[in-house]
């Protein structure tokens, strides 16, 4: 018997009762006639000859049965999840062409939590050159304690700092659970080999403002300038609106 709709090409997975009705009707079809019913998915009319396949010889149909879509049937339809957009093209970064040289307003404090000394120095020197005061905590407890009592404009965190999956790391969980009244003023940067540089969707999925791949940290100055400029364009109007309405 037919296994998919000739109109929408979806698999026809009937309930046992409906399948029995179709087989019974096909068995009783007179010569030269077809069985007609509606596809449970697209609702287009499907015709079957006595062999259970679509007719190709101009048979006349005068027998119709009602096949209704049921919840059981609907639940068997496999709908593929939507695909996320591709990571952004950063070829301009490799060539040294900065498409947006505007630097967002200077803030004085930044925290850098990166285990590799060479990478940490590169990041710290770049941020310090923009008039930020750099703070490097000795451990996660010290970092969390400092954030509770001090405001930071930038926090740079490496995804391998605590040697376990990012979602299970104490510092990252602390940032995720932070009150939005304080969190919205922190520019949180995640660095790690698993990220795609400047991929906004990946940053959003990880509760960050910017993600950077390890191998592209040599472009940190350009990346953070581009990332913060985009962030300013997107969120400054929103923050201004909150202040207008007496919210912070």
The residues near 125 (Cβ < 8 Å, ≥ 6 apart) are none
Residue range(s) defining the domain that contains residue 63: 16-74
Q: Are residues 30 and 120 in the same domain?
A: no
Q: Are residues 65 and 162 in the same domain?
A: no
- The pLDDT tens digits of the residues spanning 182-235 come to 898 899 999 999 999 999 889 989 999 999 999 999 999 999 988 887 777 766
CA angle 49, 50, 55 (to 5 degrees): 15
Q: Are residues 111 and 199 in the same domain?
A: yes
Which of residues 74, 100, 124 is at a domain's end?
74
**Nearest residue to 60 (alpha-carbon basis) of 49, 70, 69:** 49
* pLDDT score, position 18: 74
Classify residue 83: in a domain, yes or no.
Answer: no
* pLDDT score, position 71: 39
Classify residue 10: in a domain, yes or no.
Answer: no
Is the confidence at residue 73, as pLDDT, over 60? no
Split at pLDDT 50, 70, 90, the class of 24 is confident
Q: Are residues 48 and 108 in the same domain?
A: no
State the CATH number of the domain containing residue 163: 3.40.50.2300
Is the confidence at residue 155, as pLDDT, over 90? yes
Mean pLDDT of 37-44: 76
Q: What is the 3-state secondary structure (H, E, C) of 162-193?
A: CCCCHHHCHHHHHHHHCCHHHHCCCEEEEEEC
* pLDDT score, position 55: 73
Classify residue 82: in a domain, yes or no.
Answer: no
Classify residue 84: in a domain, yes or no.
Answer: no
Q: What percent of the chain has pLDDT over 70?
A: 75
Split at pLDDT 50, 70, 90, the class of 122 is very high
Q: Are residues 108 and 29 in the same domain?
A: no
Q: Are residues 154 and 129 in the same domain?
A: yes
Angle between helices 220-244 and 117-128 (to 10 degrees): 50
Mean pLDDT of 135-158: 93
* pLDDT score, position 154: 94
Mean confidence (pLDDT) of the chain:
79
Q: Could you give the CA distance from residue 33 to residue 163 in angstroms, rounded to a whole number?
A: 70
Output DSSP code: residue 82. P
Q: Are residues 118 and 219 in the same domain?
A: yes
pTM of the model: 0.56
* pLDDT score, position 118: 95
Q: Are residues 57 and 105 in the same domain?
A: no
Is the confidence at residue 10, as pLDDT, over 90? no
* pLDDT score, position 227: 86
Classify residue 4: in a domain, yes or no.
Answer: no
**Nearest residue to 124 (alpha-carbon basis) of 139, 114, 134:** 134
**Nearest residue to 126 (alpha-carbon basis) of 4, 204, 225, 50:** 225
Is the confidence at residue 60, as pLDDT, over 60? no
Q: Are residues 33 and 155 in the same domain?
A: no
Q: Are residues 143 and 217 in the same domain?
A: yes
Q: Are residues 118 and 199 in the same domain?
A: yes
Number of domains in the chain: 2
> Judging by beta carbons within 10 Å of its beta carbon (0-12, 13-18, 19+), is residue 228 exposed, middle or buried?
buried
């Amino acid at each position: 018997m037919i296994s998919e709709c000739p109109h929408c090409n979806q698999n026809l997975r009937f309930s046992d009762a409906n399948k029995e009705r179709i087989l019974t009707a096909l068995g009783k079809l007179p010569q030269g006639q077809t069985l007609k019913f509606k596809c449970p998915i697209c609702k287009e009319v499907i015709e079957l000859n006595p062999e259970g396949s679509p007719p190709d010889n101009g048979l006349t149909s005068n027998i119709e049965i009602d096949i209704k879509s049921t919840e059981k049937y609907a639940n068997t339809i496999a709908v593929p999840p939507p695909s996320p957009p591709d990571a952004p093209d950063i070829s301009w970064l490799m060539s040294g062409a900065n498409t947006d040289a505007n630097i967002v307003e200077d803030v004085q404090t930044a925290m850098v939590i990166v285990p590799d000394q060479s990478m940490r120095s590169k990041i710290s020197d770049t941020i310090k050159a923009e008039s930020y005061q750099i703070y490097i905590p000795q451990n996660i407890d010290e970092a969390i304690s400092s954030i509770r009592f001090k405001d930071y404009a930038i926090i740079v965190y490496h995804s391998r700092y605590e040697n376990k999956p990012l979602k299970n790391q104490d510092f990252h969980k602390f940032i995720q659970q932070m009150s939005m009244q304080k969190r919205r003023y922190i520019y949180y940067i995640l660095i790690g080999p698993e990220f795609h540089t400047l991929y906004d969707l990946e940053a959003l999925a990880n509760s960050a403002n910017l993600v950077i791949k390890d191998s592209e940290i040599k472009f940190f100055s350009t990346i953070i300038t581009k990332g913060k400029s985009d962030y300013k364009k997107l969120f400054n109007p929103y923050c201004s609106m909150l202040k207008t309405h007496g919210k912070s």
